[in-house]
Structure 1
Amino acid sequence: MSRVGVLALGPAGVGKSTFCNSIIHHMQTIGRRAHIVNLDPAADPTEYEFTIDIRDLISLQDVMEEMDLGPNGGLVYCFEYLLENLDWLDDQIGDYNDEYLIFDCPGQIELYTHVPVLPTIVRHLKNQLNFNLCATYLLEAPFIIDNSKFFSGALSAMSAMILLELPHINILSKIDLVKNDFNKKKLKQFLNPDPLLLAQEDETFNPKFSKLNKLIANLVDDFGMVQFLPLDCSKDSTSVSTILSYIDDVTQWSEAQEPKEPNDEFEIDDNEVDVQN
């Protein structure tokens, strides 16, 4: 069985930890096993405990106190320290050779847009530890339904897709917070958006930036890969199982499973076979 890893990415507060917990819960209900690998040195576990926790190696609080750094500088220091001690990560993951690992990543997107920390870790997981990886990038639905903010989110998602060079699934989280009927109807056009149409529809854009906005819309449209799956973490939602099916497809999880032994009820008893000469 091959190793499968899922990276939960996105800005701070978009619900990455909730998403990780929802995936774990759903997989347990269908008889599959998974573990959360916490790569956020400032995070505390919520519903499910971390199986592997970067804070066992280094924590943001300790770095800020001992190095007199702020949150962002301290976070960069933590990951630079992790890169110098990747053997620690190897040892931790080594105990879970055939398990499904979900990597809960920090919300500071500069770790893969400005400082190539996560791309380095991704290459290590792929090349040294033989992982089939998938990146999930979360953006908040209440944020995205503002046309101008959509382009901001789309550009950040595109940046992650290009720099990480992984199969990539964009997710709209917190769709349950989109309350009124008008916004619910509007939300549908952002699941498979037409950037050129969205740029034309928005009358709030400053005319001074119309040329820049058109270029951005053309860039997103030409890229052609900015689509979103809805995520609703309520108990009766099927969105988590749908997202997991997409993840399984791009990581080829099903193809890597070992064939199961046939059930006893389907086995043939040699004594019952009538052989005719």
Structure 2
Amino acid sequence: MSRVGVLVLGPAGVGKSTFCNAIISHMQTIGRRAHIVNLDPAAEPSKYEFTIDIRDLISLEDVMEELNLGPNGSLVYCFEYLLNNLDWLDEEIGDYNDEYLIFDCPGQIELYTHIPVLPTIVRHLQNQLNFNLCAVYLLEAPFVIDTSKFFSGALSAMSAMILLELPHINVLSKIDLIKDEYSKKKLKRFLNPDPTLLIDSAKESVNPKFDRLNESIANLVDDFGMVQFLTLESKNPESVSTILSYIDDVTQWAEGQEPKEPNDQVEIDDL
């Protein structure tokens, strides 16, 4: 089995841990193994225990208490400490040499949109540990129904795509919270964004003084050509399976599997 890693990214509260648990649960039902690597020094395990946990190295609570820093400053300190002790991460991952690892990342998006912390970890995983990686970026479906909020989410997703330089899958989470048909119809225009529709929608709901800015953002999304979204309903196995199939494709997971002998050998006499 090839070394495969999935970085689960997105703003706080978007459902990253729920997604990690859903992927693990689905993989178990189809006979595959995976492990959660927790990179959030403030996180607690929920449905599944963390196989590798950054809190075994450093925790947000300890940093806040000992250094008298706020949550954001403490988080940056934790990751700077991790970067200075990457041998710890190597040793922990070394126990799972040929496993499928799901990296649950913190919700502070500045760690991969402004500060080159996660990009450094990504390069280390690729170059030193020979991982095939992809990023899964989550946004809340109820959040992006509003066009201006979609622009904000799309720009943050694009920033992560550019900075991490990884195969990238964008996902709209909590799709099951969209109940009314009008909202579902509005949401469809954001799955594969059309700049004309985005501009028209923005003009209907946003102050006209922002028209030129909105047009520029819509055209940027169109020019970039990769801001598309899959939908996630974490309790729906088909929805989880679809996203996993995309992850497998971009990480080339199947190509790293050892060929299996057929269960039944065909006798020459039977041909």
Please report the TM-score for the alignment, with normalisation by the length of structure 2: 0.97
Q: Which residue of 1 aligns with 2:262?
A: 262
1:15 and 2:8 correspond: no
Instruction: Answer whether contact 1:137 1:171 (CA < 8 A) is retained.
Output: yes
Q: 1-side partners of 2:183 and 2:237: how far apart? A: 19
Equivalent residues in 2 for 1:81-230 (5 A)? 81-202=81-202, 203-230=204-231
Q: Give the 3-state SS of the residue equivalent to 1:238 in structure 2.
A: helix
Find the structure with the greater CA-based Rg.
1
Match of 1:66 in 2: 66
Identity of aligned residues (%): 81
Aligned to 2:238: 238
Aligned length: 269
Moved over 3 A (4+): none
CA offsets 1:160-196 (integer angstroms, 9 cap, x no match):
0000000000000000011111111222221111133
The AA in structure 1 aligned to 2:195 is P
What is the alpha-carbon distance in structure 1 between the residues aligned to residue 240 and residue 46 of structure 2?
18
Q: Quick one: which amino acid aligns to residue 94 of structure 1?
A: G
Code of the aligned partner of 1:91: E
- 1:34 and 1:114 map into 2 onto residues whose CA distance is 30
Report the secondary structure of 2:213's partner residue.
helix
Q: CA deviation at 1:266?
A: 2.5
* Residue 237 (structure 1) shift: 4.0
Cα drift, residue 128 of structure 1: 0.3
The amino acid across from 1:58 in the alignment is I
The residue type equivalent to 2:149 in the other structure is K
Residue type of the partner of 1:6? V
| Whole-angstrom distance in 2 between the partners of 1:189 and 1:207 | 21
Unaligned runs of 5+ in 1: none
Check conservation: 1:34, 1:102, Cα contact below 8 A.
yes
SS at match of 1:172: strand
Deviations 1:216-257 (A, max 9, x none): 1111111111000000012x4411000000000000000110
Which residue pairs with 2:36 in the alignment?
Answer: 36
Q: TM-score when scaled to structure 1?
A: 0.95
Residues 49-79 of structure 1 show CA distances to partners (whole Å, capped at 9, x for unaligned) of 0000000000000000000000000000000
SS of alignment partner, residue 166 of structure 2: coil
Query: Are the aligned partners of 1:17 and 1:104 in contact in 2 as well (CA < 8 Å)?
Result: yes
